[in-house]
Every structure is written in structure tokens, then in C-alpha cells.
């Protein structure tokens, strides 16, 4: 009986990941409730602390309390630490500490790492983990150096360095937290090419995935890149360039956003409005003042998000790419989904379809629940908020601070589901499927 009980309580990789993120969130929430974390010296309410901790750990960026003006440097350091842990995954840091202590990485830990990093196999995982940590800290340091050229002259040496490191980590981890204050994000730097291009580049680098950058570094020819990397690169380029062009067309006559800017400012803001929704949450123009077309485009970009194995959220670029090409293949009458002269396995297509369906279901259900709890808010605002939370983006139309206690809990839970992954959560709550020897006869059904 005791053996059966211990066997039942044994956790698999996805369950450990789901519970691990929950534990980090709870720890961060407790630290943020301490009086030392707020500038007023008062204890922060647990709901707001939990919301902030969830948003930071899930690298989202939605906030109910202004990061720049409400928290002390202790609170800000807790937040940026949660962002770094959440962006790379708590297993990455557990592995780092194990390596520093000279401990061996067990097979079980390698399996958890494989799930966390979303890789194909467990071979070379520790080497990949070392590369990820080195790559991350190097890129974040370089980003901080570039940002310091702007922040140090404005805020002084110590504050400028802190601001540079904070925003570099927040951008690379696709978090969207900023210290500018008054919920303004980067709107005061819309015409600053160094800040906009540096943070935009960090967002793209962090959102493409570590395995892709490793391949780019080691491959001598684009033709030798894996199918995964080719899809990620092509989808990223398409979404960034296409999104920027569409955003410019939608907003160029909008006086509340980019109409009155210089051509340089319009180009920078259009580019940034295309990059940030996938899935960073910074904004250089007012999101609430965007045209309806601009908002709708933002929702689409948020839902797609970044790439697998990265710091970004959303359904991922590869998922969207596979489904798009599946539709194209069906229209062309092809039996298989084909990309770059490669055939896609049916199981991968089913998984992509499942991820999109679960993601869409989460957005629909949470929007419906918020429409009940948040009386007086517009449907468009709720869909935007929920999509931003699920895709761990952090953009808002200004309703986050107006949410009720129940609404904050619902949005925080949505952020958690979005970061851990809808498919991972389902797998964590269910047992492994068993192979059945019975196979039913094929049935026919009309579709469309």
C-alpha cells in the first residue's frame, strides 16, 4: 500500500515544471509583500503582490502597481530576478547551481531539462545549458552597455547602470517591465533610435530560441540549417517586416499615435509596434489610442508570439507556420504538409492543432469569465487583456489597474497557463495515454 502511494505521488517532468513555476511565483509574492519592497514602507496586498510576481515570473509585463514609482530597489531587484528565472526557466538555474557545486546532472533532471528547453533529445543537454546561460548573460550585458549610453547621461552613473541592466534583462526575457514610471513604458523614447533598436533587437534575439542561435553560429551555410530553424527564421522575418508595414499603414494618419512624428519616429514606432507584441509588452506609442485595425493586428501578433525554446510566449511561430502550410497543402490537394521540401509528421500537426485549440479556448473562457466579473469594461478591452496575458505579452488598453480582485486572479492564472504552456498543463494533470489494441472502423463525416 505504501509503495503504491509513493508511486502515485511520483511526479513526471511536466508536473515538476508546472509546480516549479508555481513555487517561484509564490516565493516572489511573499517577498513583494514585505514592507521593505514598497517605497511607502507599507505591506503590499497579497493579491497585487501575487499578480506582480506571476507577471514577472511568467515574463508578461502586466502590472497593477507602477514598477518605477511603487517599488523600492529591493522590490525592483526581486522583480528582475523573477524575470530572469522565469525567462530562462527555474531548471536552468537549478542546473547552473548544480554545475557550480560540481554535482552530476541525473537522467531524471536531463528529462526535465529536455521538457523545459523543448528540445528533440537529451544528448548534449548540459552542454546546451551552458551555452544558453553564457549566451544569455553575454547578450544581456551587451544590451546593457548600449542602453547605458542613453540612461547614464539622463539618470547618472549608478542609476543609469541599474536601469540599463534592468531593461536589458526585461527585453531579452520578453518581459516588458520598465522603470520609466507612470505606466508610460517607452513612449518618451519613441524617437530614440538607440533605445528602440537595442530593446527591439533584444526582444527578437530572446524570442527566436536558443537552439536556433546555436545553429546559426555553428552552421556555415543557410541550406544546412534544420527545418525548425528555417521555419523560425522565415516566420520571424515575415511577422516583423509584414507587421511593421501593416502597422505603418494602419497608424500613419492617426494623430494620437504616429501621424505627427518625424519619418524616423514613424519608422521606429511601426517597427517596435510589430516586434513588441511578440511577446515583450513594451510600447513606444499609446496602445489605447491605436486604430481598431492596429489593435486587431496587435492581438494577432500577441497570440502567435515567439518561437519554441525561447523566452517568448504565445502559440509559437512554428505552430502557426505548420498550420498555415497545412491549409495550403490541403488547398493544393497534397496528402502531406510540406515545408522547405520536407514532409511534416502527422503527430506534429495534431500537436500544433491542439496547442492552437487549447490557446484559443483559454482566451475564450477567460474573456467570458472577465466579462462577468468586470462590469462596464468593453469586450475589445477584455479580449486584448486576456490575449496579452495568455501570450505573456504585457500590453494593455489600460484596464489592468481597474481589475477587481477576482479579475486579477483570473488574469494571473491566465499568465501562468500561458507561460507553462497549455499543452504542458494538460499533460501535467493527466496520466500518459495507453496504447489500445482495439482500432475502430473508419467513419465518414462531412466537413465545411
pLDDT for 35 equals 95
- Radius of gyration (Cα) for the chain, nearest Å? 22
Banded pLDDT at 363 (limits 50, 70, 90)? very high
Pick from 135-149, 220-234, 241-255, 423-437: least confident: 423-437
- pLDDT, one tens digit per residue, over 387-425 is 999 999 999 998 999 999 999 999 999 999 888 776 565
Q: Which of 159, 177, 162, 167 is nearest to 143 (CA)?
A: 167
Residue 139 confidence class, pLDDT cut points 50, 70, 90: very high
pLDDT at 5 over 50: no
Say if residues 68 and 181 touch (Cβ distance below 8 Å).
yes
- Phi-psi map region of 61: left, alpha, beta (phi>0 left; psi -120 to 50 alpha): left
Q: Which burial class, exposed, middle or buried, applies to 319 when counting CB atoms under 10 A from its CB (0-12, 13-18, 19+)? A: buried
Euclidean distance between the first and the last CA atom of the chain, given in angstroms as a whole number:
53
Percent of the chain at pLDDT exceeding 90: 54
| Extents of the domains making up the chain | 11-427
List the helix and strand counts (H, then E) for the chain: 19, 2
What was the pLDDT predicted at 217? 78
What is d(CA 311, CA 206) in angstroms, rounded to the nearest whole number? 6
Where is 342: in which H helix or E strand?
strand 342-343
Question: SS3 for 275-318, per residue?
Answer: HCCCCCCCCCCCHHHCCHHHHHHHHHHHHHCCCCCCCCCCCCHH
pLDDT digits (tens, 9 = 90+) for 20-76: 788 889 999 999 999 999 999 999 999 999 999 999 998 888 999 999 999 999 999
Contact, 177 vs 63, CB < 8 A? Answer: yes
Amino acid at each position: 500500500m505504501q509503495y503504491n502511494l509513493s508511486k502515485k505521488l511520483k511526479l513526471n517532468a511536466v508536473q515538476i515544471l508546472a509546480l516549479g513555476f508555481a513555487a517561484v511565483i509564490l516565493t516572489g509574492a511573499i517577498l513583494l509583500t514585505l514592507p521593505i519592497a514598497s517605497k511607502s514602507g507599507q505591506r503590499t496586498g497579497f493579491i497585487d503582490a501575487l499578480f506582480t510576481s506571476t507577471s514577472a515570473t511568467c515574463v508578461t509585463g502586466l502590472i497593477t502597481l507602477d514598477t518605477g514609482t511603487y517599488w523600492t530597489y529591493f522590490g525592483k531587484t526581486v522583480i528582475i530576478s523573477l524575470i530572469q528565472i522565469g525567462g530562462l526557466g527555474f531548471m536552468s538555474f537549478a542546473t547552473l547551481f548544480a554545475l557550480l557545486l560540481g554535482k552530476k546532472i541525473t537522467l531524471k533532471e536531463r528529462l526535465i531539462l529536455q521538457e523545459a528547453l523543448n528540445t528533440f533529445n537529451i544528448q548534449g543537454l548540459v552542454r546546451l545549458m551552458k551555452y544558453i546561460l553564457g549566451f544569455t548573460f553575454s547578450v544581456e550585458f551587451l544590451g546593457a552597455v548600449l542602453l547605458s549610453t542613453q540612461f547614464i547621461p539622463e539618470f547618472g552613473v549608478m542609476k543609469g547602470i541599474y536601469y540599463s541592466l534592468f531593461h536589458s534583462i526585461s527585453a531579452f526575457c520578453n518581459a516588458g517591465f520598465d522603470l520609466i514610471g507612470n505606466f508610460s513604458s517607452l513612449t518618451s523614447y519613441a524617437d530614440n533610435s538607440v533605445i528602440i533598436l537595442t530593446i527591439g533587437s533584444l526582444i527578437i534575439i530572446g524570442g527566436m530560441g536558443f537552439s536556433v542561435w546555436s545553429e546559426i553560429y555553428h552552421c556555415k551555410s543557410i541550406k544546412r540549417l534544420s527545418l525548425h530553424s528555417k521555419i523560425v527564421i522565415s516566420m520571424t522575418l515575415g511577422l516583423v517586416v509584414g507587421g511593421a508595414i501593416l502597422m505603418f499603414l494602419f497608424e500613419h494618419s492617426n494623430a494620437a499615435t504616429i501621424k505627427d512624428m518625424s519619418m524616423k519616429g514613424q519608422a521606429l514606432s511601426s517597427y517596435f509596434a510589430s516586434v513588441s507584441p511578440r511577446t515583450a509588452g513594451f510600447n513606444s506609442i499609446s496602445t489605447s489610442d491605436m486604430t481598431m485595425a492596429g489593435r486587431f493586428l496587435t492581438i494577432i501578433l500577441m497570440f502567435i508570439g515567439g518561437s519554441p525554446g525561447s523566452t517568448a510566449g504565445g502559440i509559437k511561430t512554428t505552430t502557426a507556420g505548420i498550420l498555415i502550410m497545412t491549409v495550403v497543402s490541403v488547398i493544393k490537394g497534397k496528402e502531406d504538409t510540406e515545408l522547405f521540401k520536407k514532409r511534416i509528421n502527422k503527430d506534429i500537426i495534431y500537436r500544433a492543432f491542439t496547442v492552437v485549440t487549447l490557446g484559443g479556448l483559454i482566451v475564450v473562457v477567460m474573456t467570458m469569465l472577465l466579462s462577468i466579473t468586470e462590469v462596464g469594461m468593453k469586450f475589445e478591452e477584455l479580449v486584448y487583456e486576456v490575449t496579452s496575458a495568455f501570450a505573456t505579452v504585457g500590453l494593455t488598453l489600460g484596464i489592468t489597474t481597474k481589475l477587481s480582485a477576482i479579475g486579477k486572479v483570473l488574469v494571473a492564472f491566465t499568465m501562468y497557463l500561458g507561460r507553462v504552456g497549455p499543452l504542458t498543463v494538460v499533460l501535467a494533470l493527466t496520466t500518459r495515454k495507453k496504447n489500445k489494441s482495439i482500432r475502430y472502423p473508419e467513419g465518414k463525416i462531412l466537413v465545411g
